[in-house]
Structure 1
Amino acid sequence: MKTLLRCLTLLLMFALSGGQALAEDAEQPNIIFILADDLGYGDLGCYGQKNFATPRIDQLANEGLRFTQHYAGCTVCFPSRSVLLTGQHMGHVLCRANGDYQFPEDPQEITIASRLKQAGYHTAMIGKSGLSCRSDDPSLPNRKGFDHFFGYLSHGAAHRYYPEHLYRNGEQVDYPGNHGKEGDTYSGDLFLADALRYLDERAEAGGPFFLHLSLQQPHADLQVTQKYREQFIGQFDEQPAKGGGYRDEAHPKSTFAGMVTYLDTTVGQVIDKLHQTGMAENTLVIFSSDNGAMSEGGWSAEYFTSSGPLRGGKRDMYEGGLRVPTIAYWPGTITAGTESDHQSAFYDFAATACELAGIAPPANTDGISYVPTLTGAGSQPTHEYLYWEFYEQGGKQAVRYGDWKGVRLNVNKNRNAPIELYNLADDLGEQHDIAANHPEVVKKIAAIMDEAHEPSPLIDFGQVRKKPKK
């Protein structure tokens, strides 16, 4: 209750200040955003998974808030993370495709880390950088607002769990016993140790912090330490899998289950550290995934029904590619065991974090703060629509408009291609295209797609543009 009253006071001061920074005596909560990679909507016990257990993340849901209609920024990793860090949806954000792209220098694409840093937060990103898909610029995370960075610069390098090197605050850190697909030092162990050390440091230093813990699991390669894989061998009917460009794995189902179990254990240790240091009641923790379930690297999302009741997975504009498991945990503020069907997306996080920090949201944000949903106080504003676009596989657009879902394919060839229409209230699995029965809704969604899309100087439908000079 004390934390809730503090939060309500902070929100009142924010309103009275007209969006300016709050008085220094208003306590700002710490914020941790833990991001899994390619974790499907149905890959957690609290979202229906039956093939293996995720007790620590399930505990977060039991003691916090489970979102049932929260969406990633995109259906693949780099653009989804761009949306998360900037607060702009895919029709407005600059970096909106995997490829040779990275965030430009400020004041372009100012990150939530930079905004929170200006509000007095210490900021850190540990794991897979969301600021570049492929980069050779080790100081980029620090320049884009993170006081501390430890991890991978390149998403391609992050496919490997035994890195030959990582980067810490602009300096290369070598691991001579690692060889990419095999080695001595598992990256997840390194990231967990660094996160726990960071939390100890922040507890000692005091003051608010923002930690973006960007984990690799369960993205291919299919790879986890033996302890986590061995416990599942013999439980599943499985055959060796060829990884293609990824690592081959003799026990793909056991390894995947072990990877999610490893992820679950990592989250649990972070939560334990918050309680050990006395910071839990002043820390909002959000757990989510960057897109839907994968089918690559010897894995199929169908094996464990990783998308749950949803259609499709990674790279699809159907719900299985975009709707992601999302949990918010804040003891003393969020009512334990609650559930919300508020329609929200990654681009809402920046507005939410800014409101909690007591600063104005980005002027160019497409997001709406979900603080009222977290605290249970006040009226929650809602989106008229949610929007996504994707440039692979012929080009795609999607719109969530109330219970309606519109999907347009083959956009690279035809910007006015037919729109598939589904009513998610009646057809969550998007099995019945009812566009012919509702031409007025199709027309509205087509107008939204036109309104929401602005060409990026890097890429547009039907034309990939050159990477700008740094």
Structure 2
Amino acid sequence: MNTFKLLFAGALLSASSVFVSAIEKPNIIVIYADDVGYGDLGCYGAEAIDTPNLDSLAKRGIRFTSAYASASTCTPSRYSLLTGEYAFRNKNAKILPGNAPLIIDPDKPTIASVLKENGYRTGLVGKWHLGLGLPTDPVDWNQEIEPGPKQLGFEYSYHMAATGDRVPTVFIEDGRIANLDPKDPVSVSYQTMVGDEPTGISHPHLLKSQADEQHAKTIVDGTSRIGYMTGGQSARWTDEEMPDEFLGKAISFIEENKDEPFFLYYAVHENHVPRIPHPRFRGSSGLGVRGDAVVQMDWGIGRIMETLQELKIAKNTLIIFSSDNGPVLYDGYYDGAVEMNGDHKPAGPWRGGKYSAWEGGTRMPFIVSWPGTIKAGLSDALISQVDLIASLAAIAGAEIPEGKSLDSQNLSSVLLGKSERGRDSLIQQGVNMEAIRKGNWKYVPPGEVRNRRGIGIFESDKISAPGALYYLPEDPMELNNLAWMYPAKVKELRSALEKEVGPVGGKRGKGGLGGAVDK
């Protein structure tokens, strides 16, 4: 009897150990690309660009075919991903200048703050573009900058303020400009010129690549930017070295936190303009600098995967890869992206790209991998990046404060490959327009779908009343408007869209809910 009790107790202990192992909090890495389209990866059909590491990640995990960014521009998508709230609910969540104040209320939960409260070490590396400081006071770049990532739950951060084509062209580490000489203070303006440094307009002969007028302000490292800046010479980045700088910081964060659960938001800058790949990647794609930047990004992701293997933590690390919006070829710099593109389809089979409400603007590559937990496969489940906070909280055993992140749905079973039932519907936010997808149907209200084609200015596709209705499985390019055939479906989808965004079909001013018309 005693022997039986001992065996029974041993069995209970063994079962308990298995249970604890099964619910152990995974490390979580969200890799967020910039302007990388659905068709830019080999695993999504690209033939002109080699992405072996992302292809391998997809082969071992789940590749989603109906996953969406919430918007077709960067700031709104990043806002939605971190907060679980559609960006159109925040009038300030539009494309921001580099000196904009923080647009996320520090009292609002984010993926970082929710996981931090549940025992995770949290880190941000890469692009930020959600504002810094208070709306009541201009940012003093020469002091500690707050509020910022730290106040939103990131215990460690190493990032740029906005984008590579905007000043200030410096890295910010834990709230302070890295390598700043206090005797050479930084000053930034988006309204008037500061200092006497050359600009792309006054000194075009100094440029590596010519740019349009918007991007022709202060020259840093041979590239003119949006906005004016002076000072901070020792802190300024070198474009070619930026990817390696971010990659090194991301790997260091992983190494330093390998013994405890961590969350890393790794927001790479590729392939946003200015596209200036490291020399070792020049010519690697055959598509010019835009394609080379994607190859460079893939190589960096491969180094992240190798690090996890070397540290023996790959099997307890959940990796999610996606992009913030659809692709764009010309975006202010005459870098040859249009001329070198050839037959490559950066948006894959979808219409449009960055800035537009077409599928190419928001339907994203989306890969989820967790070796030993997620079985390899393909999923057509409907999912939005706005769902990540609820889904990751569920996977980590964390709780979102009641009444917060209400747009986020817990689709953890979909992410883990245990269910094919995704969302019933989602909102797609373009520039000054929102559309809705419900099931296999998509409705675009009357108005103008803004898009950028080639090297021309923004062009618009005008949608007349009652709007446009598309059946996506048979019409991925959104060319066959079925609104006249299915008026009941139009009414259903328009009603559902207006329930979320308010009345549709009228004109909105520049910089409205959909984001700025310019960059």
| Mapped pair 1:352 → 2:360 | no
For residue 293 of structure 1, the aligned residue among 317, 320, 327 is 327
Alignment of 1:21-420 (within 5 A): 26-93=23-90, 95-99=92-96, 100=100, 102-107=102-107, 109-132=108-131, 136=139, 138-139=145-146, 140-155=148-163, 158-159=164-165, 164-174=169-179, 179=221, 181=223, 183=238, 186-203=241-258, 206-232=259-285, 235=286, 253-295=287-329, 296=331, 297-298=333-334, 299-300=337-338, 303=342, 304-336=344-376, 338-361=377-400, 363-364=403-404, 365-377=406-418, 379=419, 381-390=421-430, 392=431, 395-410=432-447, 418-420=466-468
Deviation at 1:130, TM superposition (A): 4.6
Number of equivalent positions: 413
- CA distance in structure 2 between the partners assigned to 1:440 and 1:77 by the alignment: 34
Deviation at 1:153, TM superposition (A): 1.3
Identity of aligned residues (%): 32
1:21 alignment counterpart: none
- CA distance in structure 1 between the partners assigned to 2:83 and 2:149 by the alignment: 14
Deviation at 1:185, TM superposition (A): 5.8
Do the aligned residues in 1 keep the contact of 2:240 with 2:279 (CA within 8 Å)? Answer: no
Query: CA, structure 1 residues 313+409, in 2 after alignment: closer, same or farther (shift >3 Å)?
Result: farther
**5+ long unaligned stretches in structure 2:** 1-14, 182-219, 224-236, 450-461, 514-519
Do the aligned residues in 1 keep the contact of 2:61 with 2:371 (CA within 8 Å)? Answer: yes
Give the aligned residue type for 1:270.
Answer: I
2:212 alignment counterpart: none
Give the aligned residue type for 2:363.
Answer: R
**Deviation string for 1:39-74 (max 9, x for gaps)?**
011000000111121111100011111000000020
Give the aligned residue type for 1:102.
Answer: L
Deviation at 1:380, TM superposition (A): 5.3
- CA distance in structure 1 between the partners assigned to 2:360 and 2:76 by the alignment: 17
Deviation at 1:32, TM superposition (A): 0.4
2:185 alignment counterpart: none
Query: CA, structure 1 residues 258+445, in 2 after alignment: closer, same or farther (shift >3 Å)?
Result: same
TM-score scaled by length of structure 1: 0.80
- CA distance in structure 2 between the partners assigned to 1:180 and 1:148 by the alignment: 30
Give the aligned residue type for 1:315.
Answer: Y
More deviation, 360-369/295-304:
295-304
Give the aligned residue type for 1:213.
Answer: Y
Give the aligned residue type for 1:293.
Answer: P
**Deviation string for 1:313-354 (max 9, x for gaps)?**
001111100100010111001112x01000001111001110
Q: Greater CA radius of gyration, 1 or 2? A: 2
For residue 32 of structure 1, give the secondary structure of its aligned residue in structure 2: strand
- CA distance in structure 1 between the partners assigned to 2:359 and 2:250 by the alignment: 32
Deviation at 1:411, TM superposition (A): 7.3
Give the aligned residue type for 1:318.
Answer: W
Do the aligned residues in 1 keep the contact of 2:61 with 2:367 (CA within 8 Å)? Answer: yes
TM-score scaled by length of structure 2: 0.73
**Deviation string for 1:363-393 (max 9, x for gaps)?**
332122222123333x555322101334x3x
CA-based RMSD of the aligned residues comes to 3.2
Give the aligned residue type for 1:166.
Answer: F
Do the aligned residues in 2 keep the contact of 1:164 with 1:174 (CA within 8 Å)? Answer: no
Deviation at 1:461, TM superposition (A): 4.2
- CA distance in structure 2 between the partners assigned to 1:407 and 1:454 by the alignment: 14
**Deviation string for 1:149-172 (max 9, x for gaps)?**
1011123xx237x98521000111
**Deviation string for 1:387-412 (max 9, x for gaps)?**
1334x3xx211100111011125379
Query: CA, structure 1 residues 133+294, in 2 after alignment: closer, same or farther (shift >3 Å)?
Result: farther
Do the aligned residues in 2 keep the contact of 1:67 with 1:327 (CA within 8 Å)? Answer: yes
Do the aligned residues in 1 keep the contact of 2:69 with 2:325 (CA within 8 Å)? Answer: yes
